[in-house]
Amino acid sequence: MTRYGSGDGAVAFPAAVPARGGTTAAPGPGAGEGPGSRRGRGGPGRRGTAVRDHQGRWGWLFTTPMVVVLGLFLLLPIGMAAWVSLLKWDGQSNPFSGAADFVGVRNYADLLTGPGQDRQLFMTSIRNNLYYVILVVPLQTVLSLGLALAVHHRRVKGKGFFRTVFYFPSVTSSIAISTVFLFLFQGSGAVNALLKWVGITGPKWFTDAHGLVWSVLGLLGVVDPDKPVPALATHGFLGLSWWDWLSGPSIAMCTLIVLAVWTTSGTYMLMFLAALQDVPVELEEAALLDGANRWQSFRNVTLPAIRPVVFLVTTLGLIGTWQVFDAVYVMSQGAPANTTLTPAYLSYTAGFQDADYGRAAAIAFILLAIILVMTLIQRLLLRERYRDGGSTARRPRARGLFPRRRSS
Amino acid sequence: MNAPSTTAATRGGTDRMSQGTRPPAAGQGRRKSRRLGDPFLRTVLYLLLAGVALLYLLPFVIQIVTSLKTDPDAAAHPLSLLPDPFSLDSYRRLFGLGGADADAVPFTRWLANSVLVTVFITAGRVFFDSLAGYALARLDFRGRTVLFQGVLVVMSVPGVVLLIPKFLVLNELGIFDTYAGMIIPLLVDAAGVFIMRQFFLSIPKEVEEAAKIDGASVFRTFWSVVLPMARPALITLTILSFQGSWNEFTHFLVATQSPQYETLTTGLAHLVSGSLSAGTQYPLKLTAALLSTIPVAALFFFFQRHFVRSANSGAVKQ
């Protein structure tokens, strides 16, 4: 997960001077130009041309390194991948010389509609990642908000200590953390030793491919996780049987889910804390005086005020969780039985292990489309409610978002 | 009707679900109790916080303890917090001071590589991001809007999607498996440019106007007048760049192939996910992970205020 801590625009910046009329532009289409700095709008003014020419040279000089690096290593790769995804190419020849076979959209067709193993693997990876997203995003959002509320509580002593402890996992490298979790979750590891104290026999985490849903139902005696229900196993959708689609994340995937929630909650807790500090205390006080209990005051005062940050956190969570790669690479490499395979990891192995760069690029593109669609849906929801950007540094306009309940 | 959650619970909170106003006497009673604090609620809150804090700390504690254990001890007693026997073998082996296969883990090589790329990438990012951020915030030139929109677009490209494409480009340019291929693509990052631009927008223009009137060139104004004012933003950017490049994994994974270019992240990942031939060697792996965490951890504890303040900036207490 380029997760933790990689730049995603959610980073606030310290302002020495309060921005004058600062609307913080949201990273997104239609972001405003920000205040000031534009002379002579609508064509050069009297001083315009000379100043612009002079500044133009400097402006381009200043931005050249950025244009070169971002252009070469972020924009060009996208274009190149678009081309390669239409080829059958093993990486040996020059992809632009015509030595590689042009196959059109066959790479995509194989992944989405073909009868072969390509589609089965790809759909399995989508299923795994989907369950990962469905569990990680709500869990990390609720946990980080809960931690923020607890730490933010006025009478909690040692705020700094708790904040440090919860945030620390977020600053460490994903590889180092994955190594630790690999040790903790071994069959005879610390987690199972802890469970034994409570009288539970823990599973062999990394070798258990059973789906969580069937395992739980198995414990209740409804189904046998090792014997698929025929009706579900014989019918299917997109190359996977219903039994596989409905299985839930495997036990092995659950360790990755725990890891993700544990490492990201600190970052999001900080975002929530920043937002909570912006909620005027007197509003909550007023609500409490008006006879609302704590829960009502949280529901009707605090939550509406921090809603933009809730949206921000879920958006970042969605983007991050669809890209899970590092932990898979270190902890499981897709095993057991492909239940921890994710599209990102599949794209990597298709390229670097199978030397099928066309398929690898196609997988990357489908993943990009998934993430874009998710983000767009989020953006639309966001924009409906707030028309003024969404960075953490933004002050939620608490006033007027909700009607103050007056005692009548 | 929602039942109050633990954190939101007040004494007898459930019986106060009525929407109306409360009689004044009861209101005063509640206010009084809130002034004194609710001992039960506070105890619950502290217990919860302490429990969760333990869950967040324990993995690191176990990691430190295990790094001082022998292999059989680590396998037999994964939870014990006392190494028995106490052993510094893992540390010795990582730094090549004796041990059976001292060269098995070229830890010092990884460390040197990590330091090298981190220094270059951090320096490059701080300088180039500031330059570009300043131009996008303050210089009036044709194409500025397009460039800024481009930065926003690039910022929202998910990194993992670029794994394979990035390798293809590096290969075409002939810098695959070189230090150049590891460093150059990371010299500028869009998020950093965005942060700097936002900061420069917040600096009053009068300062620059004065410098301009005194006849300073654009670069001179930027270098001697604006940058010194941008210290807080520069510290934030330095921290983010250091942390980002020190912990970077996927880019180095696809930009290199030879063992001589392995950094702490790629080296450790290969060690952990690779051969299980020589036993599990968990103390060794955990020690390597621990040592690679220390620089960022030190930075975090040293600049913690800054970390948090940067997340909380713009929060004007009302």
Minimum mean pLDDT range among A37-41, A331-335, A383-387, B141-145? A37-41
Residue percentage of chain B with pLDDT more than 90: 36
What tokens does B56 get? Answer: 């967040």
Minimum mean pLDDT range among A111-125, A160-174, A239-253, B93-107? B93-107
Which residues from chain A sit within 8 angstroms of residue B171, using beta carbons?
91
Of A14, A164, A165, the CB nearest to B232: A14
Do the Cβ atoms of B198 and A24 come within 8 Å?
A: yes
Q: Does pLDDT of A398 surpass 60?
A: no
Q: How far is A380 from chain B (nearest CA, A)?
A: 16
Which residues from chain A sit within 8 angstroms of residue B194, using beta carbons?
9, 27
In chain A, positions 71-110, which contact chain B (CB-CB < 8 Å)?
72-78, 80-81, 84, 91, 95
- Mean pLDDT (chain A) is 78
The pLDDT of residue A360: 92
Rounded distance between C-alpha atoms, residue A112 and residue A359, angstroms: 12
| DSSP character string of A348-366 | HHHHHTT--HHHHHHHHHH
Query: Mutate which of A23, A76, A183 to test chain B, going by most B C-beta atoms within 10 A?
Result: A183
In chain B, positions 108-127, which contact chain A (CB-CB < 8 Å)?
none
Bridge partners (DSSP) listed for residue A399: A402
Minimum mean pLDDT range among A35-44, A117-126, A273-282, B125-134? A35-44
In chain A, positions 289-318, which contact chain B (CB-CB < 8 Å)?
289-291, 293-295, 298-299
Q: Where is pLDDT greater, at B195 or B184?
A: B184
Query: Mutate which of B162, B168, B275 to test chain A, going by most A C-beta atoms within 10 A?
Result: B168
The pLDDT of residue A103: 86
Count Cβ neighbours within 10 Å for each residue of A81-107 and write b for 16 or more, e otherwise.
bebbbbbebebeeebeeeebeebeebb
Which residues from chain A sit within 8 angstroms of residue B154, using beta carbons?
70, 74-75
Query: Mutate which of A57, A64, A73, A354 to test chain B, going by most B C-beta atoms within 10 A?
Result: A73
- pLDDT tens-digit profile of B56-75? 999 999 999 999 988 888 88
Do the Cβ atoms of B21 and A291 come within 8 Å?
A: yes
The pLDDT of residue A190: 86
Do the Cβ atoms of A150 and B45 come within 8 Å?
A: yes
Of A22, A326, A375, the CB nearest to B202: A22
Of B144, B233, B315, the CB nearest to A59: B144
Residue in B134, B57, B231 with CA at minimum distance from that of residue A14: B231
* Size of chain A, expressed as the number of residues it contains: 408
The pLDDT of residue A384: 58
Do the Cβ atoms of B154 and A70 come within 8 Å?
A: yes
Q: Nearest chain A Cα to B79, which residue?
A: A190
The pLDDT of residue B278: 53
The pLDDT of residue A392: 39
Q: Does pLDDT of A342 surpass 90?
A: yes
User: A396 and chain B: CB distance < 8 Å anywhere?
Assistant: no
- pLDDT tens-digit profile of A247-283? 889 889 999 999 999 999 998 998 898 888 888 888 8
Q: Does pLDDT of A371 surpass 50?
A: yes
Rounded distance between C-alpha atoms, residue A298 and residue A293, angstroms: 9
Of A27, A294, A325, the CB nearest to B8: A294
Which residues from chain A sit within 8 angstroms of residue B268, using beta carbons?
175-176, 179
Residue percentage of chain A with pLDDT more than 90: 25
User: B239 and chain A: CB distance < 8 Å anywhere?
Assistant: no
The pLDDT of residue B57: 93
Query: Cis ω on the peptide bond leading into residue A230 (within 30° of 0)?
Result: no
- Residue A303: how many CB atoms within 10 A of its CB? 14
Q: Does pLDDT of A349 surpass 90?
A: yes
Asked whether B36 and B54 are in contact (CB, 8 A), the reply is no
Q: For chains A and B, what is the number of CB pairs under 8 angstroms?
A: 425
Minimum mean pLDDT range among A173-182, A393-402, B218-227? A393-402
Q: Does pLDDT of A12 surpass 60?
A: no
Residues A214-222, mean pLDDT to the nearest whole number: 81
- pLDDT tens-digit profile of A252-262? 999 999 999 99
- pLDDT tens-digit profile of B251-263? 999 999 998 999 9
What tokens does A158 get? Answer: 């040692």
The pLDDT of residue A385: 57
Q: Does pLDDT of A285 surpass 60?
A: yes
Q: How far is A393 from chain B (nearest CA, A)?
A: 5
Q: Nearest chain A Cα to B61, which residue?
A: A180
Of A69, A188, A275, the CB nearest to B78: A188
Q: How far is B155 from chain A (nearest CA, A)?
A: 6
Do the Cβ atoms of B156 and A375 come within 8 Å?
A: yes
What confidence category does residue B276 fall into, taking pLDDT thresholds of 50, 70 and 90?
very low
| DSSP character string of A70-138 | HIIIIIHHHHHHHHHTTEE--SSS-TTTT-SEE-TTHHHHHHHT-SSHHHHHHHHHHHHHHHHHHHHHH
Residues A370-385, mean pLDDT to the nearest whole number: 77
What confidence category does residue A23 fall into, taking pLDDT thresholds of 50, 70 and 90?
very low
Minimum mean pLDDT range among A17-21, A113-117, A202-206, A218-222? A17-21
